Amino acid sequence: MSQIVLQAKGINKSFHDPITIQILKDINFTVNKGEFVSVIGKSGCGKSTLLYILSTMDTDFQGELLIDGESTKNKKEGQLALVRNEKIGFVFQFHYLLNEFSVLRNVMLPGLKLGKYSEEEVEHRAMQKLKILGIENEALKMANQLSGGQKQRVAIARALINDPLIIMGDEPTGNLDKKNGKIVFDIFQELAQEFKQTLLIVTHDNEFANSTDRIIEMEDGRIVKL
């Protein structure tokens, strides 16, 4: 049996404003190490909400979330930030780079925050990641000088910098044209196959989903197919 990276136990979540709507109903599933999992479902079925709970950014839910075998339940905000920093890499629909910094610096920031390596080492590692993604030539440009597809690749490099347990993506190809979307998808594929990186990607692109190891399908806040 392979190692469980992420486990959701009976997760329920409701929005209370303006009226109470239960948005996630009894979510139970696990993600194993090295798996490439996609979550699909129609708009508003709760898949993004689920992803933000799994990423520890949203703590307002019932049930239990275990990351790397550790419950997130009684952790404080600062401790959760550490968990995110060390164990989770995140890729958003919009690239969300910091425009005040160079590409290289953007990739380095989470690594510097973790403080596991010296600054020189973090820089070296960041260059390696950029090389994997084929954008090492852009390293010294400012973040806002890149194209959309390049930005998304930088965001992936940033997600990789601390060698996270799992990379989560919220429609990472949703905002890209077909060509760039393909490039990003190929990168994920490569990460999964060559580096045995665990990936959990929310998407509504069925083509994308079909080429992953496992599809979790959601409908009206429930998992209908694991």
Q: Which residues bind to another protein, rule: CB under 8 A?
A: 48, 52, 55, 57-58, 77-78, 81-82, 84-86, 90, 92-94, 96-101, 105, 109-110, 112-115, 158, 170
Min dist. Cβ of residue 126 to another protein (A): 13
Nearest distance from C-beta of residue 53 to another protein, angstroms: 9
- Residue closer to another protein (CB basis): 100 or 177: 100
CA distances from 111 to 114, 131, 158, 180 (A): 5, 17, 9, 26
Strand partners, 11: 27
Which lies closer to another protein via its Cβ, residue 30 or residue 59? 59
**At 123, which helix (H) or strand (E)?**
helix 119-132
3-state secondary structure of 23: strand
Tell me whether strands 62-67 and 4-15 are parallel, antiparallel or unpaired.
antiparallel
Tokens of 169: 């993506």
Question: Does 172 sit behind a cis peptide bond, omega within 30 degrees of 0 on the bond before it?
Answer: no
* Measured distance between the N- and C-terminal CA atoms of the chain, rounded to whole angstroms: 18
Q: Which C-beta is closer to another protein: that of 2 or that of 99?
A: 99
To another protein, the closest distance from the beta carbon of 92 in angstroms equals 6
Collapsed DSSP state (helix, strand, coil) of residue 68: coil
| Nearest approach, Cβ of residue 26 and another protein (Å) | 21
Output the smallest distance, CB 70 to another protein, in A: 16
Q: Where are the beta strands (DSSP E) in 72-195?
A: 88-91, 166-170
Complex with another protein: residue 36 or 90, whichever CB lies closer: 90
* Residue whose CB is less far from another protein, 98 or 224: 98
Angstrom distance (rounded) from CA 139 to CA 127 = 8
Q: What is the DSSP letter of 133?
A: T
Contact status, residue 204 vs residue 41, Cβ threshold 8 Å: yes
In terms of CB distance, is 84 or 129 closer to another protein?
84
Nearer to another protein, 61 or 185 (CB): 61
Locate 55 and state its tokens: 């990423």
In the complex, least distance from residue 105 CB atom to another protein, rounded to whole angstroms: 8
CB of 113 to another protein, least distance (A): 5
